[in-house]
């Protein structure tokens, strides 16, 4: 094959490859840059006090004049959550489906961006020509409505990004994934496929949403008391199935939790969701209804401490208390890292006499991501020259690579990339050609990036070993001690049980100050460092603990 006269296309993942979350892919096509998604990641256990994490945009800052558009595959936080921060750096049109943009609009209201945001609505099979590329949006099934994959026709060939997808042959409400369009591109020739790897280690096919609806309907039919169902607030189709089942069974439905109410209102206003007349009731009316005719859809599927379900489980909800005879259904996946919080709520619910049903007990949830046989089907339909798995930890990307190998793709046609890899694509091959600056930016309250690894390390230190503050006051003229050192312990030891040891520590500090010459006493920084070193050694020797030491030397 002769070398192409067109420049190569470069792909740079800034997030989402080698991890779950922070999904963001950069496409460099000629002189133009396009972005697919800009998501966040929820904090891991070691990220103490962090609200969420976004990708580092450093790579884009020097190239922002070349960025032409941001394309959103769907409205989950791990694909749109970083937009408010990215838009402070880059002002370009954002393309997404109606429901995706409704979620973006609501999110952007929380931030003052200073200039209007260009939100441009698209729908499946719409085509855009921008610069040297043509973009077509292809409808897919996912756990949120109006998800799309994107076919990008470039001067060197077509690249397809599936977005998050599954192949559900009996979906609720949505049209089935547009397999015909993927196949059409496969017949014409696809240079590179980027495909969702989230469930690459699950064999077979994912469960259909319609099957989950039937199982939920059976539980609702068999229950003689109130049924409380917690779902992801973005799972409109799951809530649609619940509403339809309750209408059929004569059960009234109360929506509890701001995100659920907002999302159902948005979906209804867009014509995506049909809410039967007289089905919904205010949560305050529940006490007057027959328990066997009441269903509640609520937030709290991940054990969030102030969610509606958590408040119910601890008798802290204003209107609803769990009572014997209630059935609580977790119609959602337990996200890794949240298991302990969810289990704690489940135990509290059982203590109050409720029956609790969750995915591990009965199949009351299905994933929005393709299993192995669905991933194979996508590969078979698209028939790419080259393949790069996206969206997943390294083990999942590697599993997806192995699936492609099992279908006959050669090692040379496959590439396992991670965040920061610069991927060069030509008709002749796909290779890594260096690294881009990548990383994670921690968001803590209104602070953006002001919490780094050193701060996290200090927080971890404080959480494990506690803090000791030692205050010494010296005379500013002669350097003599004005009073005894004052020692305060927080999270280290119970002071009343260790009075003698703490007095020893004070005496050590006093001795250190008294033995210091006049020059050292005037240098508070050096004196504080000496006090810190002596106390660290003392507490480690006596208790085998290493609290954070904060010495303060004041002059009067």
Q: Identify any residues that bridge with 149 across adjacent strands, giving them in sequence order.
A: 138
**How far is 434 from 432, CA to CA, in rounded Å?**
6
Which one of the listed residues 161, 369, 391, 400 is annotated catalytic? 369
- Take residue 118 and report the two structure tokens written for it: 């260009």
Task: Give SS3 for 376.
Answer: helix
d(CA 102, CA 96): 9
Strands laid side by side in the 147-154 sheet:
127-130, 133-140, 147-154, 157-161, 190-196, 384-390
d(CA 339, CA 342): 5
Residue 212: C-alpha distances to residues 169, 239, 249, 396, 494 (Å): 13, 11, 17, 25, 52
Note whether 300 and 307 are within 8 A (CB). Answer: yes
Q: Which of 60, 121, 123, 69 is nearest to 91 (CA)?
A: 69
DSSP H helices, 383-483, are 394-406, 453-465
Nearest residue to 28 via CA among 13, 46, 9: 9
Q: Determine the Cα–Cα distance for residues 19 and 225; give it in Å rounded to an integer.
A: 42
Residue 297, class by beta-carbon neighbours within 10 Å (0-12 exposed, 13-18 middle, 19+ buried)? buried
Full 3-state SS string of 308-321: HHHHHHCCCCCCCC
Give the CB-side neighbour count of residue 85, counting CA atoms within 13 A: 24
Among the listed residues 318, 267, 326, 336, the one whose alpha carbon sits nearest the alpha carbon of residue 292: 326
Strands (E), 179-289: 190-196, 227-230, 252-256
CA separation for the pair 452, 167 (Å, rounded): 40
State the catalytic residue, choosing from 164, 168, 196, 419: 196
In the block, tokens 């600056």 appear at: 437
DSSP one-letter code for 497 = G
CA distance linking residue 314 with residue 304, whole number of Å? 12
- How far apart are the C-alpha atoms of 118 and 100, rounded to whole Å? 14
Place of tokens 């046609």: 413
Number of CB atoms found within 10 A of residue 488's CB: 13
CA distance 85 to 92: 13
Longest dimension (CA), the chain: 89
Does residue 369 have an active-site annotation? Answer: yes
Q: Which residues are catalytic?
A: 196, 369
């Amino acid at each position: 094959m002769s070398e192409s006269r067109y420049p190569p296309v470069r792909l740079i993942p800034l997030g989402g490859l080698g991890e779950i979350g922070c999904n963001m892919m950069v496409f460099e096509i000629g002189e133009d840059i396009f972005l697919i998604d800009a998501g966040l990641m929820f904090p891991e256990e070691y990220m103490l006090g962090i609200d969420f994490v976004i990708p580092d945009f450093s790579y884009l800052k020097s190239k922002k004049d070349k960025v032409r558009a941001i394309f959103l595959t769907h409205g989950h936080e791990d694909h749109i959550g970083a937009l408010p921060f990215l838009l402070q750096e880059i002002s370009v049109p954002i393309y997404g489906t109606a429901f995706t943009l409704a979620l973006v609009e609501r999110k952007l209201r929380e931030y003052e961006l200073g200039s209007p945001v260009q939100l441009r609505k698209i729908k499946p099979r719409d085509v855009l020509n921008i610069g040297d590329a043509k973009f077509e949006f292809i409808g897919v099934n996912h756990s949120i409505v109006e998800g799309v994959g994107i076919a990008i026709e470039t001067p060197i060939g077509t690249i397809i990004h599936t977005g998050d997808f599954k192949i559900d042959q009996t979906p609720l409400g949505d049209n089935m994934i547009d397999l015909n369009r993927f196949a059409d591109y496969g017949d014409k020739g696809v240079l590179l496929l980027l495909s969702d790897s989230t469930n690459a280690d699950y064999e077979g096919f994912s469960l259909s949403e319609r099957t989950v609806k039937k199982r939920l309907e059976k539980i609702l039919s068999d229950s003689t008391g109130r049924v409380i169902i917690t779902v992801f607030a973005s799972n409109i189709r799951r809530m649609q199935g619940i509403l339809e089942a309750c209408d059929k069974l004569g059960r009234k439905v109360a929506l509890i939790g701001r995100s659920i109410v907002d999302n159902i209102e948005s979906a209804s206003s867009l014509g995506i969701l049909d809410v039967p007349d007289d089905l919904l009731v205010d949560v305050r009316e529940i006490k007057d209804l027959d328990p066997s005719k009441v269903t509640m859809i609520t937030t709290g599927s991940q054990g969030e401490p102030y969610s509606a379900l958590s408040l119910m489980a601890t008798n802290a909800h204003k209107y609803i208390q769990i009572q014997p005879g209630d059935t609580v259904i977790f119609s959602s996946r337990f996200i890794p890292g949240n298991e302990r919080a969810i289990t704690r709520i489940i135990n509290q619910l059982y203590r109050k006499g409720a029956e609790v049903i969750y995915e591990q007990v009965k199949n009351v949830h299905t994933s929005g991501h393709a299993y192995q046989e669905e991933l194979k089907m996508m590969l078979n339909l698209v028939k790419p020259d080259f393949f790069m798995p996206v969206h997943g930890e390294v083990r999942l990307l590697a599993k997806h690579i192995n699936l492609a190998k099992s279908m006959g793709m050669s090692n040379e046609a496959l590439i396992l990339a991670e965040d920061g890899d610069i991927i060069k694509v030509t008709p002749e091959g796909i290779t890594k050609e260096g690294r881009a600056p990548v990383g994670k930016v921690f968001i803590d309250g209104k602070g953006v990036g002001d919490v780094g690894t050193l701060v996290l390390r200090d927080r971890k230190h404080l959480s494990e070993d506690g803090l000791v503050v030692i205050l010494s006051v010296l005379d500013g003229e002669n350097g003599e001690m004005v009073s005894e050192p004052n020692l305060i312990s927080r999270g280290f030891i119970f002071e009343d049980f260790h009075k003698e040891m703490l007095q020893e520590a004070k005496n050590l500090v006093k001795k250190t100050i008294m033995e210091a010459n006049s020059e050292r006493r005037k240098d508070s920084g050096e004196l504080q460092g000496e006090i810190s070193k002596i106390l660290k050694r003392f507490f480690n020797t006596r208790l085998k603990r290493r609290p954070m030491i904060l010495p303060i030397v004041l002059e009067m």
